[in-house]
Amino acid sequence: MANEADQIVNTEEAAVENEINAEAETTETAAETVIAENVETVTETAESTEENAVDAAYQVENYAKEAIEHESTLSEAQIKALSKKRISKGELKRQWILLAIGFIFVLYGLLFYYLPLGGWIMAFQNYKLKTGLFHSKFVGFDKFKFMFEFDVFEWGMETTGNFFKAMKIWIDKVVFVRAIRNTLGMGILNLATTFIMAIVFAILLNEVKNKLGKRLVQTISYLPHFLSWIIVCGIVHDSLSGTGIVNELLRLFHIVDDSYNFFAHPGWFWPIVAFANVWKETGWNAIIYLAAITAIDPSLYEAAEIDGAGRWGKIRYITLPSIAPTIVILLVMNLGNLLNCGFEVQYLLGNGLVQDVAQTIDIYVLNWGVGQMDYSLGTAAGIFKSVVAIILILIFNTVAKKLGQESLF
Amino acid sequence: MKMKKDDFALNYTNSHGGEKMSDEELKTIKRMARKNTRRMDGWGWAFVICNTIFLVLFTIVTLYPVWNTVAYSFNDGLDAIRGGIYLWPRKFSVESYSKVLNIQGFVVGAKITVLRTILGTLTSLVANALLAFVISRKRFLFRSSLSLFWVVTMYVNGGLIPVMLLYRYLHLTNTFWVYIIPGMISAFNVMVLRTYMEDLPDELEESAQLDGAGYITIFIKIISPLCKPVYATVALFVAVWQWNSWFDAMLYNRMKTEYTTLQYELMKLLNSVTQQSGSANGNNTTAAAKQVTPVSVRSAATVVTMVPIICIYPFLQRYFVTGLTIGGVKG
């Protein structure tokens, strides 16, 4: 058995070499063709006894691996070429099913994820359902100009001569610019609060020595993540309403005499949204930090203890530096997603009185694209968001690489 | 109690590679541990106390609103309007629940939601697992390009309007299938599954191939049984997402009441109040007040909607912890 396999291996190796030679040389000697023929017959018989063939193929592969390991002088390109060669014909034959499945999924992906990108053309058209994508009139960047109303900014610059004042006028007067401000503002506020809370919660929970208590608190902390935004917003709304717990407490401590309507004051809207996010996601986001903390080598803590570090010292010098890579990579990922956080809460909690601070880009798309059926404008706003989001992701991915962390791709 | 002690001894020995500890040794360790606690200085105690207060407050803030909702739902409807119900119902009644179950849309929504959760989770799990299996085969020729193809979809998408028009064009809107087909594959879940599959030893696949197994056999008989934990994770993610979706029902099936979902129905109930409080100074408050659903009924509807998930998630903890750890750092 073993000898047979060895023989096959040898002949197969010869065949591979032959192929290479044949590619390189234009003329073949008769002897070589004879050998090649022999090899073919041998491989054919080997394939008829399938076990042997597979066996042989693997051994060839192993040899190739060993060869790569031993010859450190090989360049990377050569190694790549070698590893490509490693896929034998039998393996290729076996891979047809992978190819077929992969192909189906590519079709699916093209249809549902890549085809909509073609719809971006709508942003440069005056799209009408009647005329469709192919016969609607092209209008260039008109939709974007309508959205941004740059002339308002220019007018502001002319009248005030101050960039910041002009920006303020621009934000105050133009709905879409305000939507950008709201998206960024709430995105940053949410990110900062949820991020810090998750880390603090993870570190503090880790300091609990009582196993049962720790588990209980952690289990409860996950709970809000599993509730839908509908429920969370309902709960937040009820808690802050006239008969809600917050107003009850405020009355109890005589901070207010009559119930305070949080939803009628624009200044409260962003903090409420941030609180809703913190309430929903703190426990869930902490999971990953807790996992990172658990992975810290206990001997580090012991060493720190011997050096006289107290609880704070251990957190400051062991825990935080150890989970720093996790923190950085998650921060970078979340910064890339800055524009994506925030649609449901704003949609569900917003009302006419706080509209100016509640409308995000997504809601703008919804209002104009779905509500007013201006598909072109909705698409244009969506494109702006997508492009900015991709730029953000690329920037922060580069930052992550520079910082020496794993990149996202 | 005895079990606990043995468990501890076993764990300890397992992690330290030694033999099982005797009771005597265990006692010594425990005594030392107690001594350590006793030796804690003032700052240490202050820390423990502050920490405990913080975590207790955190737990209360998390739990109270949910508990309060349950308390309201079991209170008599008229009585509940006065407010002032905290931890227990003042006038116990289950009338609100029977009212909720009599709301036509709510019952239909419940059926559709259960159906989409089960069907959606199954199809999604199979599709994601298959794709992850293909991508994780180390010798697959188009492995890296296929992987990139799907990673891109995580970051680039067409946006709401083109997607909506596409679904309309494909006649997916106003059907049940809009809940199942478009969201079947999630690149994030695929990456979680892929990472897990890649960590399985290659020898498993190789030896199976030696026995003449094709890739399908390897997927079903070798890989899938080993992937049960990560399958559970992904199934949980998908199921929660399906159960909690409301936006697709609103956007694509607004006209089709027979395909409404639980969350969307709940939103309609709750929204009548949210909108009202914002425009409290309007003249139409009396008209709006008639439409407002009583607080107890709203609470009951909320409880009905959240109970299934609350009952399930504590038992699946270890699964989503692994899933998140894999997906969060490596994905």
What type of residue sits at position A133? L
Coil vs helix vs strand at A394: helix
- Determine which of B161, B210, B223, B275 to mutate to test the interface with A (most A C-beta atoms within 10 Å): B161
CB contacts, 8 Å: A195 with chain B: none
CB contacts, 8 Å: B310 with chain A: 223, 226
Position B330 pLDDT exceeds 70:
no
Position A111 pLDDT exceeds 60:
yes
∠ CA B205-B207-B210 to the nearest 5 degrees?
Answer: 110
Sequence spans of domains, chain A: 2-91, 97-138, 174-402
Average pLDDT over residues A3-21: 48
Q: Could you say which DSSP state residue A297 is in?
A: -
Question: Which residues are within 8 A (CB) of B270 and not within 5 positions of it... i.e. 6 or more apart?
Answer: A230, A233, A234, A237, B298, B302
Other Cβ atoms closer than 10 A to A239: 20
- Which superfamily does B99-276+283-330 belong to? MetI-like (1.10.3720.10)
What is the reported pLDDT for B99? 87
Coil vs helix vs strand at A295: coil
How many angstroms separate the Cα of A298 from the Cα of each of A293, A304, A317, A322, B47?
10, 10, 13, 12, 21
What is the reported pLDDT for B39? 54
∠ CA B206-B209-B210 to the nearest 5 degrees?
Answer: 90
Q: Which residue has the higher pLDDT, A361 or A136?
A: A361
B229 touches chain A (CB under 8 A): no
Q: Which two tokens stand for residue A364?
A: 């703008």
CB contacts, 8 Å: B295 with chain A: 238
CB contact under 8 A, B277 and A54: no
- Å from A243 to nearest chain B CA? 6
* Of A284, A287, A379, Cβ closest to residue B159: A379
Q: Are strands A137-138 and A125-126 parallel, antiparallel or unpaired?
A: antiparallel
CB contact under 8 A, A382 and B161: yes
- Å from A264 to nearest chain B CA? 6
CATH architecture of A174-402: Orthogonal Bundle (1.10)
Confidence class for position A271, pLDDT limits 50, 70, 90: very high
Phi, psi values for residue B75, rounded to 5°: -95, 155
The complex's ipTM?
A: 0.81
Q: Where are the alpha helices (DSSP H) in A25-162?
A: 30-48, 50-70, 76-85, 89-94, 96-109, 115-118, 132-135, 142-148, 150-160
Q: Which residue of B has its CA nearest to A351?
A: B278
* Of B141, B240, B320, Cβ closest to residue A87: B141
CB contact under 8 A, A220 and B63: yes
- What is the per-residue pLDDT across B81-100, written as a single tens digit (0 to 9) for each? 877 788 888 888 888 898 88
CB contacts, 8 Å: B279 with chain A: 351-353
Confidence class for position B126, pLDDT limits 50, 70, 90: very high
% of chain A beyond a pLDDT of 90: 27
- What is the per-residue pLDDT across B114-124, written as a single tens digit (0 to 9) for each? 999 999 999 99
What is the reported pLDDT for A245? 87
* Of A113, A233, A241, Cβ closest to residue B277: A241
- Å from A87 to nearest chain B CA? 7
What is the reported pLDDT for B154? 85
Q: Which residue of B has its CA nearest to A332?
A: B329
Average pLDDT over residues A343-358: 87
B21 touches chain A (CB under 8 A): no
Question: What mean pLDDT is reported for chain A?
Answer: 79
Average pLDDT over residues B252-267: 90
- Å from B24 to nearest chain A CA? 23
Contact A152, A170 (CB under 8 A): yes
What is the reported pLDDT for B118? 96
Question: What is the Cα–Cα distance from A90 to A101, expressed in whole angstroms?
Answer: 19
- Range with the lowest mean pLDDT among A366-380, B10-24, B156-170? B10-24
Contact B174, B256 (CB under 8 A): yes
| Residues β-bridged to residue B75 | B92
CB contacts, 8 Å: B317 with chain A: 219, 222
Position A368 pLDDT exceeds 60:
yes
Burial of A302 (0-12, 13-18, 19+ CB in 10 A): exposed
Between positions 87 and 126 of B, the ones with CB within 8 A of A are none
- What is the per-residue pLDDT across A63-94, written as a single tens digit (0 to 9) for each? 555 544 544 445 555 555 555 545 667 777 78
- What is the per-residue pLDDT across B25-52, written as a single tens digit (0 to 9) for each? 777 766 665 555 545 667 778 888 999 9
CB contact under 8 A, B328 and A109: no
Size of interface A-B (CB pairs under 8 A): 271
- What is the per-residue pLDDT across A374-389, written as a single tens digit (0 to 9) for each? 899 999 999 999 899 8
CB contact under 8 A, A379 and B320: no
* Of A204, A223, A348, Cβ closest to residue B274: A348
Q: Where are the alpha helices (DSSP H) in chain B?
A: 2-16, 23-38, 42-73, 77-80, 95-102, 104-136, 143-155, 160-169, 187-198, 202-210, 215-217, 224-226, 228-244, 247-252, 262-278, 285-291, 295-312, 317-325
* Of B54, B127, B306, Cβ closest to residue A227: B306
CB contact under 8 A, B69 and A58: no
- Å from B80 to nearest chain A CA? 10
Between positions 31 and 60 of B, the ones with CB within 8 A of A are 37, 41, 43-44, 47-48, 51-52, 54-55, 58-59
Nearest to B117 by CA among B271, B241, B256, B220: B241
